[in-house]
């Protein structure tokens, strides 16, 4: 794998970038929550099989509450918000807004006195949020809250905040567990929290997965398998192989390709429109994320994190 790691990491960016379009295809027949449940049942089964083949799979009982919290934040709530928000906005907006996750991590880190702010970070934050405002408003900032996609965009922005909290809270568990092992258990515990909702109607999904699953067409099944196998299991495995073989900084660079692939699939598969304002705003977002990430990467004490992951 070492000789092909760069090519494999590009494939990860492709899978994560195209996951938004795949989710929209899946939600043509599945309620957002049910799509989340089915995706992660499949992914968790595969992760479980991977754990059975590893010698370092031991999980300490005292860490179970932490994994349950991380599973709830990073799987249960994160993807429900993301898939629900996707119903009201475009894949292009979704990818660009979620890409601001590292920016929000930086802001929270400054507020909590984990990191110190500098000019690079100030410029990065200003650029990223200016870019997001341009993308959402279509260039007319004064009318930003009248935009057709504002409901979904705000949900996706809240999703980026959830991911930032997940990233910061997850640091302490990575002191004891490898990133891949931690993500496997986070998937499994997050899925366990979702399982009751697969058979019991709730305010989050009035129609259960148990009722919807018997009527699924092959396009929907294919979309779910794509999300579970390629966007979850394969991508996380390769990503952390990349972190191990070429380092976290070089691996994180490949995350910048995610919005590009999201835009291409949105245009080609979903007939979404890309304007000059969207392109310019997207460039501001990615430049802002880059500047902020540069600050974090140069911190000598930051050895373990879940940095660079836009979890689709």
Predicted confidence (pLDDT) per residue in 44-75, tens digit: 999 999 999 888 888 999 999 999 999 999 99
Q: Give the per-residue pLDDT at 139.
A: 74
- 174 has pLDDT over 60: yes
308 inside domain: no
Count the neighbouring beta carbons within 10 Å of the beta carbon of residue 215.
9
Give CA–CA dist 21/146, Å, rounded: 24
**Considering the entire predicted model, what is its pTM?**
0.85
Domain coverage including residue 46: 2-297
309 inside domain: no
Averaged over 222-248, what is the pLDDT? 89
Q: Give the per-residue pLDDT at 104.
A: 87
162 inside domain: yes
Give CA–CA dist 310/307, Å, rounded: 9
Nearest to 150 by CA among 217, 158, 202: 158
Q: What is the pLDDT of residues 100-116, one digit of tens each?
A: 888 888 888 888 877 77
Q: How many domains does the structure of the chain reveal?
A: 1
Q: Is 69 helix (H, G, I), strand (E, B) or coil?
A: helix
310 inside domain: no
Quick check: 113 and 295 in contact, CB under 8 A?
no
What letter would DSSP give residue 256? G
User: For residue 265, which phi and psi values (nearest 5 degrees)?
Assistant: -70, -35
Structure tokens belonging to residue 281 = 């705003």
Q: Give the per-residue pLDDT at 306.
A: 45
153 inside domain: yes
51 inside domain: yes
- 15 has pLDDT over 60: yes
85 inside domain: yes
Q: Across all residues in the chain, what is the average pLDDT?
A: 86
312 inside domain: no
- Is the pLDDT higher at 122 or at 311? 122
Q: Give the per-residue pLDDT at 257.
A: 87
For the chain, what is the radius of gyration of the CA atoms?
19
């Amino acid at each position: 794998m070492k000789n092909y790691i760069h090519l494999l990491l590009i494939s990860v960016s492709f899978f994560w970038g195209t996951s938004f379009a795949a989710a929209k295809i899946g939600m043509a027949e599945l309620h957002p929550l049910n799509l989340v449940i089915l995706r992660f049942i499949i992914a968790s089964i595969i992760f479980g099989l991977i754990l059975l083949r590893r010698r370092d799979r031991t999980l300490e009982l005292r860490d179970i509450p932490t994994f349950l919290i991380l599973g709830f934040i990073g799987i249960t709530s994160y993807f429900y918000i993301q898939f629900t928000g996707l119903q009201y906005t475009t894949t292009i907006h979704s990818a660009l807004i979620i890409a601001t996750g590292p920016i929000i991590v930086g802001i929270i880190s400054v507020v909590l006195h984990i990191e110190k702010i500098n000019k690079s970070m100030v410029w990065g934050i200003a650029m990223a949020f200016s870019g997001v405002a341009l993308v959402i408003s279509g260039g007319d900032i004064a009318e930003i809250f009248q935009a057709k996609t504002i409901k979904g965009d705000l949900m996706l922005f809240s999703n980026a905040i959830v991911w930032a909290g997940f990233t910061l809270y997850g640091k302490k568990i990575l002191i004891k567990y490898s990133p891949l092992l931690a993500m496997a258990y986070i998937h499994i515990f997050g899925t366990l929290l979702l399982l009751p909702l697969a058979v019991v109607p709730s305010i989050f999904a009035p129609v259960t997965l148990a009722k919807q699953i018997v009527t699924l067409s092959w396009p929907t099944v294919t979309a779910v398998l794509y999300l579970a196998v390629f966007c979850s299991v394969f991508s996380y495995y390769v990503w952390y192989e990349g972190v191990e073989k070429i380092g976290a900084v070089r691996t994180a660079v490949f995350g910048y390709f995610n919005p590009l692939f999201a835009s291409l699939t949105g245009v080609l598969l979903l007939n979404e429109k890309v304007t000059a304002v969207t392109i310019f705003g997207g460039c501001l977002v990615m430049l802002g994320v880059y500047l902020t990430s540069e600050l974090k990467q140069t911190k000598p004490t930051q050895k373990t994190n879940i940095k660079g992951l836009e979890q689709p």
